[in-house]
Amino acid sequence: MILIDPKRIPRHVAIIMDGNGRWAKKRGLNRIKGHQKGADAVKEIVQTSNEIGVSWLTLYAFSEENWKRPKTEVKLLMNLLKKYLKRELKEMLDNGIRLQAIGRIEKLPAGTREILLDSIEKTASNNKMVLTLALSYGGKQEIVDAVKKIGKQIEKGEITSNDISEKTITRYLYDAGMPEPDLLIRTSGEYRISNFLLWQIAYTEIYITPILWPDFNRKEYLQAIEDYRKRERRFGGTLETDQYFDPGERMKKCI
């Protein structure tokens, strides 16, 4: 049994879902089978996040670099995403999940983009949890896109370079209202950030597990949360100034 203190649930969890291909290879299956099983894992982690009170869940579903994969794999991934969104719309509506996307969405094939935008619109008034899919997403590209928008403001004479602060950059990210992740999980054991949320993870706690994404289930996820719970977050300060943890707080909830 894992004990979770509701006060120490990370507000925002971001996940690099890696290892679908290896999962399939280990079983002598086609890579797409790994992605299909990966979509089932997405469902379980979305449900669990919502249940335990995570307010923001951000999943790295397709990177800018993933366009370099074989055309057939890209096509299958886009179809899988379409199917997932169709299948899960009711679940999102029933459970107060608001869907949104970050990335260069305009590059997605029309069919996938339409379903995505439709699901975003239909779930727009939900307010229990925000599920953000990073699609055609790159952290460097996000910063470049933000800088271009700031450049335009300067060209128009609305601001000068002296006005640029961290807040200015944050305001022009794909989702300016998204809080920075508290916990970043990466599956399949690689120690890399892979161009994910580069600006936003400055103080994020990182958890890396060797488990391949299709095998990442509720139990593994709660273990990651439990590991996070034990950490001391100081944000560059000292423990005394840390508002995040109250070490005397007793565990309140059994999951």
Of 150 and 174, CB closest to ligand FPP: 174
CA angle 132, 169, 136 (to 5 degrees): 35
64 contacts ligand FPP (rule: CB under 6 A): no
Q: Determine the Cα–Cα distance for residues 85 and 118; give it in Å rounded to an integer.
A: 10
- Contacts of residue 119, defined as CB under 8 A and 6 or more positions apart, other chains included, come to 85, 89, 92, 99
Q: Determine the Cα–Cα distance for residues 236 and 239; give it in Å rounded to an integer.
A: 9
Instruction: Choose, by CB under 6 A, the member of 5, 7, 22, 220 that binds ligand FPP.
Output: 22
Site for ligand FPP in 44-63 (CB under 6 A): 59, 61
- Contacts of residue 39, defined as CB under 8 A and 6 or more positions apart, other chains included, come to 80, 83, 84
Query: Residue 182 Cβ, how far from ligand FPP at the closest point, in Å?
Result: 21
Query: Residue 66 Cβ, how far from ligand FPP at the closest point, in Å?
Result: 5
42 contacts ligand FPP (rule: CB under 6 A): yes
Instruction: Choose, by CB under 6 A, the member of 8, 10, 15, 38 that binds ligand FPP.
Output: 38
Q: Is 95 a catalytic residue?
A: no
Length of the chain equals 255
Stretch that binds ligand FPP, among 4-12, 76-84, 111-119, 191-199 (CB under 6 A): 76-84
39 contacts ligand FPP (rule: CB under 6 A): yes
Name the catalytic one among 5, 30, 66, 217.
Answer: 66
Q: Determine the Cα–Cα distance for residues 4 and 1; give it in Å rounded to an integer.
A: 10
SS3 content of the chain, % helix, strand, coil (to 5): 45, 15, 35
Report the residue number whose CB is nearest to ligand FPP: 21
Which residues contact ligand FPP (rule: CB under 6 A)? 17-22, 35, 38-39, 42, 59, 61, 66, 80-81, 84, 133, 213
